[in-house]
Amino acid sequence: MWARRRVDDPLLGNLVSLVTPFTAFLLAEVVHASGVLAVVVCGLMISQAVPRVVRADTRQYGQAFWSLSTFVLNGALFVLVGLEAQAAVRGLSAADLTRGLAGVGVASAVVIGVRFAFVFTAPYLIRLLDRRPQQRLLRTGARTRVVSAVAGFRGAVSLAAALAVPLALDSGEPFPGRDMIIFVTCGVIAVTLVGQGLLLPVMVRWARLPHDTAVEQERHLAECLATEEALAAIPRLAAEHGAEPQVVDRLYREYEEHLRVLRANDAGIDDEPVLRHEQQYAALRLAVLAHKRTTVVRLRDERRIDDTVLRQVQNQLDHEEVRLSRREVID
């Protein structure tokens, strides 16, 4: 966090975020602790602190980078599972391979069974300890818990824990059973990803889960409350920055219009005039942006501007287009 507060360049800021988990892993290894758990704890701490210390441009770069990186790493995980399983099989005899397959079955049953036991026992323990009325709103039915249990896949963390087993002991001898550990771990990953993954859509249809609107409701609450408090803070902020009355009035109108759109969305009326005007405004702005983009490209083709200027202007247009079209970067 100290480094992130002092880094202004977005590229350097994201470089710090990239090396942070490796640093946490290595520091944990130095003190003979679990590097995997250190990375998990580090991620939990950073997720709470980052919204307060990271600049907006750094977050924009980071969201694009980590979305692509996560997609690529998830794909590479399957390749790594296959490579490690193949290497582990070469180090096992026929008898060991038989025991390994049995171990995969037993470990998979235990992992799935423990998750089912947890989702069907932990809620009752929470109810026993937490008697607040709002806790009752979080209760779910048995079918929902079954879906939650089936969705418990094993993947990167399990494989990382298995690969963290050292190749050799301090005496120099090979670590006993390392190939078996990796083989069983890869087998459990394959069973949960393939078996439970194919079963999950069937279980979701069987559970007849209602449409989950919690995220939309919380987002609407956050946007409305943030806009209302921003409107209330405009006079104070305007006085602090010495803004002229015309500037303050313009900002007032913009935020009041945005708040009216949010409240109209909450009403759920598609033909609400405010929503209709907002949709027409966004469509017209998008059309104007497309025209501006065509003009800029034509200027480049006519050699009146170079590619550097084209990329700079296009970057500004892209940000505005994404905001107007409400396209979201998947987290």
Residues 6+ apart with CB under 8 A from 144: 207, 209
DSSP string, 198-217: HHHHHHHHHHTPPP--HHHH
* pTM confidence score: 0.65
At residue 47, the pLDDT reads 81
Largest CA distance in the chain: 84
What whole-number distance in Å separates Cα of residue 178 and Cα of residue 88?
8
Collapse the DSSP code of 98 into the 3-class scheme (helix H, G, I; strand E, B; otherwise coil) and give the result: helix
- Terminal Cα distance for the chain, rounded: 22
Collapse the DSSP code of 174 into the 3-class scheme (helix H, G, I; strand E, B; otherwise coil) and give the result: strand
At residue 212, the pLDDT reads 77
What whole-number distance in Å separates Cα of residue 277 and Cα of residue 84?
57
At residue 4, the pLDDT reads 61
Contact 297, 311 (CB under 8 A): no
Which residue ranges make up each domain of the chain?
1-54, 69-210, 217-325
Compute mean pLDDT per 10 residues along the chain, 331 residues long, and list them. 67 84 90 87 83 78 84 83 83 86 92 88 78 71 84 77 81 85 88 86 86 83 92 93 92 89 72 79 91 94 92 90 67 44
